[in-house]
Amino acid sequence: MAKKKIIIATAGKRGPRKYNTFLNRFMRVLTALNRDGYIRTRTMALELEVSERTLQRLLLAMRDDHFILPDEHEKGKWVFNSEAKSFEKLDINDQDAATMAFLCKLSKIFGGQINKSVLQSLDKAFLLEDTDSPFYMITPRVKQPDTELPFYQDLYNAIQGRYKINLTYQSGTAGKTVKVWPFSFIMCDGMWYLGYLLEPEAKRKQEIRTLRYTHILKVEPLAEEGFEKPAWVKETLKDARNIWFNRDRCIRVVMEVSNRIKDYFELSEYFPAQKIIAEGKDTFTVEAKICTHNEAVPNILRFLPDIKVIGPKDLKDEVDRRISEYLGSKK
């Protein structure tokens, strides 16, 4: 099948757009637009770490290509141009088109609430045949992904506006309602979760809670009750390796790992704060910091028999117990 070329229509001459500058900024602007529904020049320039003048050139190019429009009521604010099919005229090369096709496929696999008009435009203009695409991603096949998220708009507004909600969720056979501070939609293993903080209680530290999205029964916005998102939440999310995470990673884990799988650990982080602290002829030693056993156990079991827990003892005992249960069930 002959490769389809995209014919570009532009308003005036422009210099070549470099992949690491234009496309990166372009995609981040689109992400911010999808996330918030608008962008402000000053705020976006700070996020991209460029001058307002540099960003303005990109925004004017996007305006000329009918991606965005200036807000009618506020100077320096931009919104999506929902009327135009501007992706048909985007000035990009084949590598950029393949990258955008890959990003589009990624968003669909995880069932995100990305702007539908953007997805439709990407589908029409850039998605290549499977045999032509240089990218392929292997991921667990979710039979019933959370592609349509009930209560999405109420939760999205509460997260963005930083106000509290009464959250009712399935607990056993009944519903339970709590007042919470919602801070993020979280994707893990192909499933959506809501990340939130419980209301502070006496001197007890706030803890992050995660709730499987399909367990949400009702959301009641409390727009008059705002909250300040603690700075530690962002850092905690950065270090998360699965859905069992929290702020106090005070458990030091030491593991001995076979050199047969060393390249995995050199290229990827499977445990929070993972680092190699010793290397030998046949094995190397890995250290990590966790808040609960479940942050480590799934990946320890994944790498058996090439990984062994040195400490702490209670984590080693937990892994041994699970292995014993499995072996006992096979007799």
The answer to whether residue 9 sits within a structural domain is no
Region of poorest pLDDT, from 23-27, 73-77, 238-242: 23-27
Distance CA 102, CA 106 (A): 6
The answer to whether residue 78 sits within a structural domain is yes
Q: Note the helical H segments in the chain.
A: 24-36, 41-48, 52-64, 94-109, 116-125, 152-161, 231-239, 262-267, 297-302, 313-329
Distance CA 287, CA 244 (A): 18
**What pLDDT is attached to residue 205?**
80
CATH code, domain with 324: 3.30.70
Q: What is the mean pLDDT of residues 115-120?
A: 54
pLDDT tens, residue by residue, 164-189: 999 999 988 889 999 999 999 888 88
The answer to whether residue 14 sits within a structural domain is no
pLDDT tens, residue by residue, 270-293: 999 999 999 999 999 999 999 999
* pTM, full prediction: 0.64
Q: What is the largest CA-CA distance in the chain?
A: 75
Instruction: Classify strands 39-40 and 174-188 as parallel, antiparallel or unpaired.
Output: unpaired
The answer to whether residue 214 sits within a structural domain is yes
Report which of 302, 294, 299 is spatially closest to residue 318, judged by C-alpha positions.
294
Q: Is the peptide bond before 312 cis (omega within 30 degrees of 0)?
A: yes
CATH code, domain with 173: 2.30.30
Report which of 83, 73, 141, 146 is spatially closest to residue 112, judged by C-alpha positions.
146
The answer to whether residue 243 sits within a structural domain is no
3-state class (DSSP) for residue 8:
coil
Position with higher pLDDT, 94 vs 131 = 94
Handedness of CA 291, 297, 298, 300 (dihedral sign): positive
* Residue 196 pLDDT exceeds 70: yes
In the sheet that holds 39-40, the strands lie side by side as 39-40, 77-80, 68-70
Q: Within this chain, do residues 193 and 259 fall inside the same structural domain, yes or no? A: no
pLDDT tens, residue by residue, 129-146: 544 566 677 777 766 666
pLDDT tens, residue by residue, 225-273: 999 999 899 889 888 989 998 888 899 999 999 999 999 999 999 999 9
**What pLDDT is attached to residue 66?**
77
The answer to whether residue 44 sits within a structural domain is yes
Domain of residue 207 covers 152-229
**What pLDDT is attached to residue 84?**
63
**What pLDDT is attached to residue 19?**
38
Q: Within this chain, do residues 113 and 63 fall inside the same structural domain, yes or no? A: yes
Q: Within this chain, do residues 219 and 259 fall inside the same structural domain, yes or no? A: no
Q: What is the mean pLDDT of residues 12-27?
A: 58
**What pLDDT is attached to residue 101?**
66
Q: Within this chain, do residues 223 and 255 fall inside the same structural domain, yes or no? A: no
Number of domains in the chain: 3
E strand map for 84-212? 163-171, 174-188, 191-198, 208-212
The answer to whether residue 138 sits within a structural domain is no
